[in-house]
Amino acid sequence: MISKPKFKICRRLGPGVYDKCQTTKFSASSGKFVKGGKRPKALSEYGTALVEKQKIRFSYGITERQLSNYVENAMKAKGAGAADKLYERLEARLDNAIYRMGLANTRAFARQMVSHGHIVVNDRKVTIPSFEVKAGDIVKIREGSKTKKLFEGLALKLKEYNPPAWLAFNPEKGEGSIKDKPKNIETFLDLNTVLEFYSR
């Protein structure tokens, strides 16, 4: 069951922010809370940009400062490449890579896995969720963590799961790899609007 704070965030920013909001049950229930049955007022250009910024923050579970740093770095890429660069930086976070590999059902859970020392990158334990992975990196479940309950039945759970093309994961070995840079196929986030918001 989704918590009330998350429910409110989903209503304000859209169902793509949290996985638990992407259900028909949420879609049906969220419509009941429109005051007076009236349509909400159209957002201003600034309001729209602010919503898009918040979508990224809540989706990836990052702070305002972290997002600002990612945007600043992305803007160094000239032209249309800035949006792709921003997406790459967000997706290349270790906690997100763990989530995309299917090891965790939420980014928050993936962040906890990393913080608690269950993940190894290139044979070195990493406890920083924002650690940036790159093509060629090998990401593993720490040997001493493989018997933990949170990884129980992993092979069965991931039997039908297909990670994004830039990742590979072998549930039998508890090992994955970063094959390439993340490609932006996320239609839920308007990255260009966010870049414009910060460039003001």
Residue 136: Cβ within 10 Å count: 10
Q: In the predicted model, what is the mean pLDDT of the chain? A: 84
Dihedral angle sign, alpha carbons of residues 179, 184, 188, 191: positive
Reading the block at residue 15, the tokens are 């169902």
Three-class SS of residue 79?
Answer: coil
CATH of the domain spanning 94-178:
3.10.290.10
23-66 residue pLDDT tens: 555 444 544 444 444 555 676 888 888 889 999 999 999 999 99
Reading the block at residue 130, the tokens are 């924002």
**pLDDT at residue 45, rounded to an integer:** 80
What are the structural domain ranges in the chain?
94-178
135-190 residue pLDDT tens: 999 999 999 999 999 999 999 999 999 999 999 999 999 999 999 999 887 677 88
Residue indicated by tokens 């600034």: 46
Position with higher pLDDT, 102 vs 78 = 102
Q: Which of 183, 159, 181 is nearest to 170 (CA)?
A: 159
